[in-house]
Structure 1
Amino acid sequence: MITCYLKYVLDPYQIEAFEHYGKLWMPLVEKFGGQHHGYFLPSEGANNIALAMFSFPSLAAYERYRQDSMKDPECIAAFKFAEETKCILSYERSFFRPVFGDQAQQPA
């Protein structure tokens, strides 16, 4: 399993638009076989940083999602919404291997 971690720098005056954007993407990730863990919006501290995390069974499954999302009308509409509102100034993407409490794994 691979988890994609996204750190967004937002326009602090467009938080509501970004929240709408996040609500568009959560079911789309799941539509393509991923599991979305949610968006985390500014509360205390920095007013322009948000996070998101979602997992796919493998990096190959994530790459398929990326390719397929570029052709999907709902995904294209979500990309366009962010572009039109300019709610996202920049973002960083990192990948992690999650460890959950219910997984019994032996050391390699």
Structure 2
Amino acid sequence: MITCTVRYELDPDQLEAFEAYAKFWLHKIPEMGGTHHGYHMPFEGPNDIAYCHFSFPSLAAYEDYRDRMRADPECQRAYAHAQATRCIRRYDRSFTRPLMDGASADELGL
């Protein structure tokens, strides 16, 4: 499994527009074979930073999603919305491998 984390720098005056954009991807990622772990919106602290996390079974599955996403009319509408509202100033993506299963200290030999 591979997880993509996106750090967004937002226009604080366009949070409502960004939330509409985010809600679309919460719906679309699972439809395209991924698992969305949610958006984390500004609350306390900086009012212009948000994060999202979503996973695909493999890097190949993620790359396939990216190809299909570029051709998908709904995805293109979402991108056009973000561009028209200028709700996203910039974003950075990083990829990680999630560690999801815990173990006791005894099981780990600690």
TM-score (norm 1): 0.92
Q: 3-state SS of the aligned residue for 2:8?
A: strand
**Structure 2 partner of 1:68:** 68
Aligned-residue CA RMSD in angstroms?
1.2
Q: 3-state SS of the aligned residue for 1:51?
A: strand
Q: Percent of aligned positions with the same letter in both sequences?
A: 53
Q: 3-state SS of the aligned residue for 2:46?
A: coil
Aligned counterparts of 1:101 and 1:60: Cα–Cα separation in 2: 23
AA paired with 1:32? M
Correspondence 1:31 to 2:8: no
Aligned counterparts of 1:45 and 1:51: Cα–Cα separation in 2: 14
**Structure 2 partner of 1:106:** none
- Report matched runs for 1:1-108 at 5 Å: 1-101=1-101
TM-score (norm 2): 0.91
Q: 3-state SS of the aligned residue for 2:84?
A: helix
AA paired with 1:6? V
Displacement of 1:102 in angstroms is 6.5
Aligned counterparts of 1:64 and 1:80: Cα–Cα separation in 2: 21
Aligned counterparts of 2:79 and 2:31: Cα–Cα separation in 1: 16
Q: 3-state SS of the aligned residue for 1:9?
A: strand
Structure 2, unmatched stretches of 5+, are 104-110
Instruction: Please identify runs of 4+ aligned residues in structure 1 that moved more than 6 A.
Output: none
AA paired with 2:101? G
